[in-house]
Amino acid sequence: MRVLGIDPGSIVLGYGVVDDAGQLSLVECGVVKTNPRAPVERRLADIFDGICNVIESTHPDEVAIEEPFVGVNVRSAFMIGRAQAVGMLAAARAGLSITCYSPASVKRLVSGYGSGDKQQVRSMVSMELNTRNLPAESDASDALAVALCHLHHLRADRLAARARK
């Protein structure tokens, strides 16, 4: 199973692709950067193109996307929601199944703590994928965490199905 994880953002969107062939392994990760001065429709088009390119080059089986966090800045949450929708559109266009996870769910599953900081998440992703070569951008490691969260859910579902038989 190969999963593309997406950490949506309207200026910097993180992506991470993870394989689960009995052992988890990093395929690719990085960011899609847009020009913060560009009109929103141009940034969204750039994000769409970037995600389509990642899908085309890595051939994921499924896509997992983090949901926007609505804190004090509602406008920011709306922008992130737009980026999330563009990611969903790119995945749907490729015929991929999409699952969304809350930020707290991702942090809880990957780091064991729903309010963990970005450094904790990055450290746990690095350990779980047995790599120290993560990009400097936390958006990429956050996207890998989303992919790992989805793979853990899939593993749990398989175990539960076997237990029911």
Question: Which candidate in 20, 66, 128, 142 is catalytic?
Answer: 66
Active site residue 157: no
Question: Which candidate in 19, 20, 62, 139 is catalytic?
Answer: 139
Q: How many CB atoms lie within 10 A of CB 160?
A: 9
Q: Is 119 exposed, middle or buried (0-12, 13-18, 19+ CB in 10 A)?
A: exposed
Active site residue 62: no
Alpha helices (H) in the chain, listed in sequence order? 40-58, 74-93, 103-111, 118-128, 138-164
Question: Which candidate in 7, 20, 67, 128 is catalytic?
Answer: 7
Active site residue 7: yes
Q: How far apart are CA 121 and CA 37, in angstroms?
A: 30
Q: Give yes or no for a contact between 2 and 19, defined as CB atoms under 8 angstroms apart.
A: yes
Q: How far apart are CA 14 and CA 42, in angstroms?
A: 18
Question: Cα-flanking dihedrals φ and ψ of residue 114, to 5°?
Answer: -70, -15
Residue 58: which of 102, 128, 3 has the closest Cα? 3
Q: Which residues are catalytic?
A: 7, 66, 139
